[in-house]
């Protein structure tokens, strides 16, 4: 029977559970090897901040990334799934790169001790338009404008745009990075089975995915993350509609209030809503219901 995806790998909770656990570092190491173009061994990798409080899973604004240090090369890496286009992805990537680069710097420490910081961002939307229509994996560094001299190798950003791999015609000679992008983008059927034959660690990832899908608690947290994404996207769409109807631009505050209303109506307590949206308890208690919010 042809392979059918058990979970949505673009769900960042599922992605982190498949790639970001101690017992799946072999999968992560192969993925990093393919993306970075250098051999990465599982034993080199040390995961950082592997767990997240379940109460924040409903907050789509929270970041579920994979942070890892690579021994011997003085590198830190951050792998992040970004599905929704919130219009600020480039600055957001730079912000998280900068935070990851400096967060370990202690007072009096030599800057030479700062590790090289590599961010790998997988997006469910197009970020750039490339001259090469098949280009879906791009690498960014800081270069001198006229001569192209590398300023410093401390910064490296990899961007994997899933819609671009999705638009490519099916074939039999997929490259390793195409195989991994297609797996993450939920390719199914015989094509996925052929891809797994080419990349054995993808076959192992499919096995991990199956175990994950059969775990009741993992599935509950996965669905909570999916619910958070739907609530957030619904709130943003409603904020946009309300803004257009009143001749107003979409505001982050309006989206937060729409999200808070939706969460309250889905049974989330006010304290959790406050932590997730950043709104005060009094502000939350004063929110009208969705039925009255448009009046």
| CA quadruple 65, 71, 73, 74: dihedral sign | positive
So what's the pLDDT on residue 224? 82
- Count of other CB atoms within 10 angstroms of residue 282: 9
So what's the pLDDT on residue 291? 45
Q: How confident is the model at residue 55 (pLDDT cuts 50, 70, 90)?
A: low
- The DSSP H or E segment spanning 70 is strand 65-70
Indicate the DSSP class of residue 269.
-
- pTM value is 0.76
State yes or no: pLDDT of 120 exceeds 80.
yes
Q: How confident is the model at residue 59 (pLDDT cuts 50, 70, 90)?
A: low
State yes or no: pLDDT of 223 exceeds 90.
no
pLDDT digits (tens, 9 = 90+) for 155-184: 999 999 999 999 988 888 899 999 999 999
Average pLDDT, the chain: 84
Q: How confident is the model at residue 53 (pLDDT cuts 50, 70, 90)?
A: low
Domain boundaries, the chain: 12-214, 217-293
Q: How confident is the model at residue 63 (pLDDT cuts 50, 70, 90)?
A: low
Share of the chain above pLDDT 90, in %: 43
DSSP string computed for 24-40: GHHHHHHHHHHHHSS--
- The DSSP H or E segment spanning 22 is none
So what's the pLDDT on residue 159? 97
N-to-C CA span, the chain: 53
What average pLDDT does range 183-187 have in this prediction?
94
**Do 99 and 58 form a contact (C-beta atoms < 8 A)?**
no
Share of the chain above pLDDT 70, in %: 84
CA distance 228 to 70: 32
So what's the pLDDT on residue 176? 96
CA distance 282 to 129: 45
Of the candidates 48, 66, 42, 52, the one whose C-alpha atom is nearest the C-alpha of residue 119 is 66
Output 253 or 24, whichever has higher pLDDT: 24
pLDDT digits (tens, 9 = 90+) for 229-261: 777 667 666 766 666 555 444 456 777 787 888
Output 228 or 141, whichever has higher pLDDT: 141
Q: How confident is the model at residue 274 (pLDDT cuts 50, 70, 90)?
A: confident
């Amino acid at each position: 029977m042809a392979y059918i995806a058990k979970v949505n790998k673009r769900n960042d909770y599922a992605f982190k559970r498949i790639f970001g656990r101690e017992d799946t570092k072999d999968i992560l190491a192969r993925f990093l090897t393919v993306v970075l173009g250098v051999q990465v061994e599982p034993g080199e990798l040390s995961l950082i901040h592997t767990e997240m409080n379940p109460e924040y899973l409903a907050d789509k604004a929270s970041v579920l990334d994979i942070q890892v240090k690579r021994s011997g090369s003085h590198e830190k890496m951050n792998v992040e799934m970004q599905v929704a286009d919130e219009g600020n992805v480039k600055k957001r990537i730079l912000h998280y790169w900068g935070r990851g680069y400096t967060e370990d710097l202690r007072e009096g420490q030599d800057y030479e001790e700062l590790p090289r910081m590599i961010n790998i961002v997988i997006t469910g939307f197009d970020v750039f338009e490339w001259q090469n229509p098949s280009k879906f994996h791009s690498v960014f560094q800081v270069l001198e404008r006229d001569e192209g001299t590398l300023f410093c190798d401390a910064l490296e950003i990899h961007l994997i745009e899933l819609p671009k791999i999705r638009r490519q015609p099916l074939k039999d000679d997929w490259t390793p990075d195409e195989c991994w992008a297609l797996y993450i983008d939920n390719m199914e059927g015989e094509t996925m089975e052929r891809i797994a034959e080419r990349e054995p660690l993808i076959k192992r990832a499919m096995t991990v995915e199956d175990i994950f899908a059969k775990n009741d608690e993992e599935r509950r947290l996965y669905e909570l993350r999916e619910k958070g994404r739907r609530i957030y996207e619904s709130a943003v769409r409603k904020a946009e509609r309300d803004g257009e109807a009143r001749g107003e631009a979409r505001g982050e505050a309006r989206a937060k209030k729409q999200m808070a209303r939706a969460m309250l109506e889905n049974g989330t307590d006010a304290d959790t809503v406050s932590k997730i949206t950043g709104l005060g308890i009094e502000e939350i208690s004063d929110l009208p219901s969705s039925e009255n919010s448009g009046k």
